[in-house]
Structure 1
Amino acid sequence: MKCPQCDQPDTRVIDSRPLTKEIGIRRRRECPACGYRFTTYEYIALSPVLVIKSNGTREEFNREKLMHSIQLSCTKRPVSLKIIQNIAWEIEQKIEQLGLSEVKSSFIGEEVIHRLRQIDKVAYIRFASVYHEFKDVTEFKEEIKVLEENA
């Protein structure tokens, strides 16, 4: 593994632990050249899943991209990184359990919305506003009203 700080081609593993609920390993690494420490995550790549975007293009499923979009909606909210990781893991597992080689981005978006609704209402509204492309304040009000009625 190349050091992200100095590009030294060899780093050493100083700690490894399995990830809970996931098929993967967290490794703590150190660069012998500059002493920089960093963390890597390794996952088993089962079979590549393609995401069909709304414009019809396809791209490979990317857990990091999914986590980033969830993190944006959870900014300054009491939602831990662990919870965000679990949401991404659960969605990835659901796709694999269904045996899908291609999945629509709308399926992933609805899965995120379903989980955020249960975890944090503000993060849910933020994600839904981008995902559903709210045009004005009226759409926010309508979504909040539905959320309050179902509470």
Structure 2
Amino acid sequence: MRCPFCAHDDSQVKDSRPTEDNTAIRRRRQCSSCGARFTTFERVQLREITVVKSNDKAGEPRREPFDRSKIEQSATLACRKRGIEREKIDQLVSGVQRQVETSGEAEVSSRMIGELVMEGLRQLDSVAYIRFASVYRAFNEARDFEEFAGAVREISKG
């Protein structure tokens, strides 16, 4: 495993343990060159998934390999300063990844992935849900937030 600090190609595993939800192995590693310690995660990948991104301009939609880290980054940003445990975010991301991989499709739309993330955030934290929705659904005005937050409030009451 390449060291993220010095880019040396060799590191030693110092400790391995399963994550809390048993969907990955967490490994503590030490670089044999600079001595820096870092953490890696090993996860099962059922199949290669291609994400089909909608194209705003006329023409073919873009395709790119599924990248778990993009979901992780978006969910983490939405949950920032909300006091949500890292494990809960990892569980959300793992759940989305599992749903995508078990869908049986080789190509999955970015829209479907966005909806899965929104559903997970809705169950986790209403503020994080609204934050993610504001970017995902491209809110342009304060009214967009008000309407969406009102709908979230109604769902929470019911």
Distance 1:22 1:54 in 2: 34
Q: Give the deviation of 1:46 after TM superposition.
A: 2.2
Distance 1:46 1:92 in 2: 10
Match of 1:40 in 2: 40
Give % identity.
44
Equivalent residues, number = 151
SS in 2 for 1:150: helix
Match of 1:103 in 2: 108
Does structure 1 retain, via aligned residues, the 8 Å contact 2:23–2:94? no
2:90 to 67, 85, 91: 85
Does structure 2 retain, via aligned residues, the 8 Å contact 1:87–1:112? yes
1:69-84 correspondence to structure 2 within 5 Å: 69-84=74-89
Cα RMSD (Å) of the superposition? Answer: 1.4
Distance 1:72 1:16 in 2: 28
Are 2:128 and 1:123 equivalent residues in the alignment? yes
What amino acid does structure 2 have at the position aligned with 1:80? E
Q: TM (normalized to structure 1)?
A: 0.92
Gaps of 5+ in 2: 56-60
Match of 1:9 in 2: 9
Distance 2:74 2:90 in 1: 12
What amino acid does structure 2 have at the position aligned with 1:58? R
Q: Give the deviation of 1:70 after TM superposition.
A: 0.8
Match of 2:73 in 1: 68
Match of 1:19 in 2: 19
Stretches of 4+ aligned residues off by more than 6 angstroms: none
Q: TM (normalized to structure 2)?
A: 0.89
Distance 2:114 2:133 in 1: 9
Does structure 2 retain, via aligned residues, the 8 Å contact 1:22–1:89? no
Gaps of 5+ in 1: none
Does structure 2 retain, via aligned residues, the 8 Å contact 1:5–1:36? yes
Does structure 1 retain, via aligned residues, the 8 Å contact 2:121–2:129? yes
Distance 1:100 1:21 in 2: 25
What amino acid does structure 2 have at the position aligned with 1:11? S
What amino acid does structure 2 have at the position aligned with 1:121? S
